[in-house]
Amino acid sequence: MEKPVLVSRDGSVCIIQINRPRKRNAIDGQTAQALREAWLAFEADDEVCVGILTGGDDVFCAGADLTALAELAPDVIGEYGPLGFTRMFVTKPTIAAVAGYCVAGGLEMACWCDMRIVDETAIFGYFERRFGVPLVDGGTQRLPRIIGLGRALELTLTGRAVDAQEALAIGLANEVTPKGESLQRALELAHQIAAFPQLCLRHDRQAIYLGLGRPLAEGLRIEAELGAEVAGVGASERGTKILHEWEGK
């Protein structure tokens, strides 16, 4: 029996792949549990710096498996969301490598990630609008923060499809690659991010998320407090070495 989620390592990068191709990577209870366990393990592993979520080269995820909705109920899945992890906050950077359909809960999972690297076949949309299924994996909260209120409302209310180039134009995608190259490009970015001093990087990331929706003064206070915790990192031996390397370029 095939595992519904495959987890692999590429140096300090963890790749978490949804593996239900015959179901367009739709999420059932077993898959949700496996995703939850994979992201909890990612967070706990000190040797891993960046996580990539992918569905392979053909489809990212079609959302919840509508034939298994009972398996995704809160009393079954627990505190981290019906799809297993979407109410979880991890302290490390995450990237979605998207190909093909990334719709319904699949789009919610992609929005959970910090960045979305998509290939030219990618299709996004809240297709569950057509079936009367609500967004309960962060879709109503994260999409407006990524593409703005007006566009998020349009996509949520119409459920229309968005191709890769439009996704790039509205800020949903960070980059578009040729077919089949989204994961490789995501890996390149992940290794670039993993090469930086991690403590400072993670504090800056946390400051961005904690400051969302807050008044500027409060956001600046959060930034200052978190920055003070890692102010000495830049003066460390490794930080000084990296600075000299940049200055020499």
Q: Nearest to residue 183, comparing CAs of 36, 19, 13, 52?
A: 52
Q: Is 245 a catalytic residue?
A: no
- Residue 232's Cβ-count burial label (10 Å; 0-12, 13-18, 19+) is exposed
- Say how far apart CA 15 and CA 96 lie, in whole Å: 10
pLDDT at 237: 46
- Say how far apart CA 104 and CA 126 lie, in whole Å: 4
Give the CA angle between residues 5, 80, 32 to the nearest 5°.
25
**Alpha carbon separation from 195 to 48, 92, 113, 210, 239 (Å, rounded):** 11, 13, 19, 24, 11
Can you tell me which residue has the tokens 């998207």? 98
- Among 37, 47, 79, 108, the active-site one is 108
Give the CA angle between residues 210, 213, 216 to the nearest 5°.
85
Largest Cα separation within the chain, whole Å, is 59
- Say how far apart CA 140 and CA 92 lie, in whole Å: 23
Options 3.40.50.1110, 3.40.50.460, 3.90.226.10, 3.30.460.10; which CATH number does 5-194 get? 3.90.226.10
- Say how far apart CA 31 and CA 84 lie, in whole Å: 8
**Alpha carbon separation from 30 to 44, 71, 84 (Å, rounded):** 21, 8, 9
- Among 47, 128, 181, 229, the active-site one is 128
Q: Is 128 a catalytic residue?
A: yes
pLDDT at 75: 58
Q: What is the torsional sign of CA 184, 186, 187, 189?
A: positive
The pLDDT tens digits along the chain (249 residues) read 689 999 999 999 999 999 999 999 999 999 999 999 999 999 999 999 999 999 999 999 999 887 776 677 665 566 898 999 999 999 999 999 999 999 999 999 999 999 999 999 999 999 999 988 899 999 999 999 999 999 999 999 999 999 999 999 999 999 999 999 999 999 999 999 999 999 999 999 999 999 999 999 999 999 999 999 998 766 554 555 554 454 554
Can you tell me which residue has the tokens 């070495």? 241
Q: Enter the tokens of residue 45.
A: 């592993």
Residue 39 carries which side chain, given as an amino acid letter?
A: W
**213 torsion bin: left (phi>0), alpha (psi -120 to 50), beta (else):** left
pLDDT at 78: 66
Collapsing DSSP states into helix, strand and coil, what is residue 117? strand
User: Are the beta carbons of 4 and 18 closer than 8 angstroms?
Assistant: yes
